[in-house]
């Protein structure tokens, strides 16, 4: 692999993704890794990330001085570049000249491997207060900016490289080119990380782990569990049983997508549990959002436990107990929880509604080295339909937390109808790529006066909540074209009985959350 040494979390993940986009497998490791641990991983290359610290601050993150002596091709970025400069005998100074954002960079030694094929003048994304003022002995200075005399350096002989700017950021004009030059030309690493190889590798791993055992997987209808199950199914066929809980809080067409499209594409054995009455019964009379969430989570666990008990009984009759549980854990979850292995990393909210933590299973997590876009690519390669792999995030508690007020069957039907119209129109307008997700919310306890046909109406408002986001931690409201908004509004008020007003939520997160409850 290529190791991405993490000096400050948010950049490291981005770098790891860019390395993978260049067709090379990457892993994130903490900067506290020892030279011996690095050597044991036998990496083909190392990238040192940026970070928020200054190399001068006492206790600022450093790297085991042995790492740069291992002879492994290394690229230092921003803070990583400065750590390199310092360790190798260059000079880093507080020049007082800070550079933030788009900055002009001039190549001073065109022709070097790292920056080859790039124009002499370019813009790059900078974010630093300290600067390298002298390159280490034997290094060529490759680039400078107005206030930074050494903005990039290289020693082709030692295969050590560094740039002050952030090539992983899209605003750096030739950023990806820098990363690819480093990986392919300087370090000589082939571009052979692709969905096909990942699938082959995971299939083998799953077979080795599971043997002849039975495997159970809770499908939520979301991308991650769908792709995880499809991979496991490819590996062990009908040893896998998928369980899908229809809690009655799904959007229009979701159950059919799973029961028909998904099964047709994968051939998995699917058990659907009809639990709508049970969930709606438990939710009757409840209006408090937290209470709704707790009830939905609890009912979900009950349902899943019943299904599990039935499957265990069935397979015990065949003489082989169900021993494995598939989870769609992704790489960012693993990195964020410290990169450890095993069950300690399970976050209950990753499992729709939350699976009980005392389920006695060994986990199968075929996606735990992957990012979301890679999971989508693998899903497509496995032949999953676009309606499943291209799906926007949908919360486990479903429409239950998009009805402000008591959840009833009639209100769910009304909201399903409005939501289907909004989704159809957004898709028709080609806006799915711009929108992270667009909750459609029913204000069930609010009514307003309207005029429809020749008469007075007294109906409910529907809220559109289109947001753009990178990770759902923060979000901005999406500036949708007025024409699209008008079309959605007209259709919903005309077609959905009981709704006489459509309003747009123009709140960012924070202060608003994405969902209304």
Catalytic amino acids? 78, 166, 168
Residue 387 touching ligand XMP (CB under 6 A): no
Going by C-alpha positions, the residue among 13, 136, 7 that lies closest to residue 84 is 136
The answer to whether 224 is annotated as binding is yes
Is there binding between residue 407 and ligand XMP (CB under 6 A)? no
Verify binding: residue 478, ligand XMP, rule CB under 6 A: no
Query: Would you mind telling me the total number of residues written for the chain in this entry?
Result: 517
Q: At a CB cut-off of 8 Å and minimum separation 6, what does 494 contact?
A: none
Q: Any known ligand binding at 172?
A: no
CA–CA separation, 493 and 61 (whole Å)? 58
Q: Is 131 annotated as a binding residue?
A: no
Binding mask 306-345 toward ligand XMP (x if CB under 6 A, else -) reads: ----------------------------------------
Q: Is 400 in the site for ligand XMP (CB under 6 A)?
A: no
Told to check if 461 binds ligand XMP by CB under 6 A, we report no
Residue 112 interacting with ligand XMP (CB under 6 A): no
* Residues in a beta bridge with 326: 217, 364
221 is an annotated ligand-binding site residue = yes
Q: Which is nearer to ligand XMP, 310 or 357 (CB)?
A: 357
Residue 222 counted as an annotated binding residue: yes
Among residues 395, 461, 466, 498, the one that binds ligand XMP under rule CB under 6 A: 395
- Tokens (6 digits) for 103: 């900055």
Among 263, 431, 472, 504, binds ligand XMP (CB under 6 A): 472
Whose CA is closest to 186, among 107, 118, 114?
Answer: 114
Report the candidate in 142, 15, 123 with the shortest Cα–Cα distance to residue 79: 15
220 is in an annotated binding site: yes
Residue closer to ligand XMP by CB (options 94, 347) is: 347
Sign, CA dihedral 315-228-471-392, equals: negative
Write out the two tokens for 412.
Answer: 């769910």
Sequence-separated (6 or more) residues with CB below 8 Å from residue 185: 113, 116
Beta strand 2-6 pairing with 26-30 = parallel
What binding mask, one character per residue, do residues 421-440 give for ligand XMP by CB under 6 A, x or -?
Answer: ----------------x---
* Stretch 255-294 residues interacting with ligand XMP (CB under 6 A): 293
Toward ligand XMP, which CB reaches closer, 132 or 249?
249
Cα–Cα distance, 469 to 476 (Å, whole number): 7
Cβ count near 417 (within 10 Å): 18
Q: Site for ligand XMP (CB under 6 A): which residue of 289, 385, 393, 405? A: 393
Where does this chain touch ligand XMP (CB under 6 A) — which range of 134-142, 160-168, 306-314, 395-403? 395-403
Region of 101 please: left (phi>0), alpha (psi -120 to 50) or beta.
left
* Residue 397 is a binding residue for ligand XMP (CB under 6 A): yes
225 known ligand binder = yes
Residue spans of alpha helices (H) in 328-394: 331-336, 372-381, 386-389
Is residue 349 near ligand XMP by the rule CB under 6 A? yes
**Which amino acids are annotated as binding site for ATP, given as ranges?**
220-226
Binding site for ligand XMP (CB under 6 A): 293, 349, 352, 393, 395-397, 437, 472, 509, 513-515
């Amino acid at each position: 692999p290529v190791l991405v040494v993490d000096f400050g979390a948010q950049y490291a993940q981005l770098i790891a993704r860019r390395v993978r986009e260049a067709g090379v497998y990457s892993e994130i490791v903490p900067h506290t890794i020892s030279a011996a641990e690095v050597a044991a991983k036998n990496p083909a290359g190392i990238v040192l990330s940026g970070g928020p610290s200054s190399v001068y601050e006492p206790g600022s993150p450093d790297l085991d001085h042995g790492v740069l002596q291992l002879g492994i091709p290394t690229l230092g970025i921003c803070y990583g570049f400065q750590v390199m400069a310092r360790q190798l005998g260059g000079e880093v100074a507080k020049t007082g000249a800070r550079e933030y954002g788009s900055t002009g960079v001039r190549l001073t030694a065109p022709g070097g491997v790292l920056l080859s094929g790039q124009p002499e003048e370019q813009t790059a994304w900078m974010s630093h207060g300290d600067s390298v003022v002298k390159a280490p002995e034997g290094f060529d200075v490759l680039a400078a900016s107005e206030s930074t005399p050494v903005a990039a350096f290289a020693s082709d002989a030692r295969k050590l490289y560094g740039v002050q700017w952030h090539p992983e950021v899209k605003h750096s004009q030739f950023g990806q080119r820098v990363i690819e030059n480093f990986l392919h030309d300087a370090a000589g690493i082939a571009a052979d990380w692709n969905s096909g190889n990942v699938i082959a590798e995971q299939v083998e791993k799953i077979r080795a782990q599971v043997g002849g055992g039975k495997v159970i997987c809770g499908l939520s209808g979301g991308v991650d569990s769908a792709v995880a199950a499809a991979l496991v199914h490819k590996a062990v066929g009908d040893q896998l049983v998928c369980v899908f809980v229809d809690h009655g809080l799904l959007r229009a067409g979701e159950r059919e997508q799973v029961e028909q499209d998904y099964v047709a594409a994968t051939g998995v054995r699917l058990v659907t549990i009809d639990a709508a009455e049970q969930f709606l019964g438990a939710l009757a009379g409840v209006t408090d959002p937290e209470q709704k969430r707790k009830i939905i989570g609890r009912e979900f666990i009950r349902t899943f436990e019943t299904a599990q008990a039935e499957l265990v009984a069935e397979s015990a009759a065949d003489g082989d107990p169900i021993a494995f549980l598939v989870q769609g854990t992704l790489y960012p979850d693993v990195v964020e929880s410290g990169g450890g292995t095993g069950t300690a990393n399970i976050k209950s909210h990753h499992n729709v509604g939350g699976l009980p933590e005392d389920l006695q299973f060994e986990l199968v997590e075929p996606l735990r080295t992957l990012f979301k876009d890679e999971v989508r690519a693998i899903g497509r390669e496995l032949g999953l339909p676009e309606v499943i792999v291209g799906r926007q995030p949908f919360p486990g508690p479903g429409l239950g937390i998009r009805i402000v007020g008591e959840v009833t069957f009639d209100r769910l039907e009304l909201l399903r109808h409005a939501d289907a119209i909004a989704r159809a129109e957004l898709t028709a307008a080609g806006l799915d790529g711009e929108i992270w997700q667009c909750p459609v919310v029913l204000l069930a306890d609010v009514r307003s006066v309207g005029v429809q046909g020749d008469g007075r109406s007294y109906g409910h408002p529907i809220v559109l909540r289109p947001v753009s986001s990178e990770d759902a931690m923060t979000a901005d409201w999406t500036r949708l074209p007025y024409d699209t908004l008008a079309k959605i509004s007209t259709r919903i008020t005309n077609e959905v009985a009981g709704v006489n007003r459509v309003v747009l939520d123009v709140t960012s997160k924070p202060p608003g959350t994405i969902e209304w409850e």
